[in-house]
Amino acid sequence: MTKNTRAIQSFDAAGMAPGRLATQIAMTLIGKTKATWTPNVDDGDAVEVKNASQMKVTGNKMEQKTYYAHTGGPRGLSATLMKTVWAKDPADVLRRAVDRMLPKNTHRSPRMRRLTISN
């Protein structure tokens, strides 16, 4: 059995939509772009994204897209608009998109640690 090495894949986010870019990043983090992909093995590459602040958001998403989080308690639902998240850190919009595209299993946290986003 051969051990695969992790490479660093670079993406330029300038002019790209966050969702379209997030699908490519998620596939690379999972390892589905490799010929040696196996479902139970976390063998994806590390991903480095540049120019996250230059992403292009189409339509009325800045005013209409809402991110929800729930604490689990009564009245624990909180909602945040995309323009609020973008104003604090544009990279967080992409990070949230990638995080929600990854499978909800034990490989998710190590995969997200391999993601580096710079503005």
Pick among 3.40.190.10, 3.40.50.11540, 3.30.70.1020, 3.90.1180.10: CATH of 8-58+89-117: 3.90.1180.10
Question: For residue 3, is pLDDT > 90?
Answer: no
Percent of the chain with pLDDT over 90: 94
Mean pLDDT along residues 104-110? 97
Mean pLDDT along residues 48-60? 97
**Which residues, in sequence order, are CB contacts of 35 under 8 Å at separation 6+?**
none
Mean pLDDT along residues 17-35? 97
Question: For residue 2, is pLDDT > 60?
Answer: no
Question: For residue 35, is pLDDT > 60?
Answer: yes
The residues spanned by each domain of the chain are: 8-58+89-117
Structure tokens given for 115: 């993601």
pTM (2 d.p.) = 0.92
Beta-bridge partners for 18: none
Mean pLDDT along residues 70-98? 98
Question: For residue 55, is pLDDT > 90?
Answer: yes
Mean pLDDT along residues 78-107? 98
Q: What local confidence, expressed as pLDDT, does residue 6 receive?
A: 87
d(CA 25, CA 81): 23
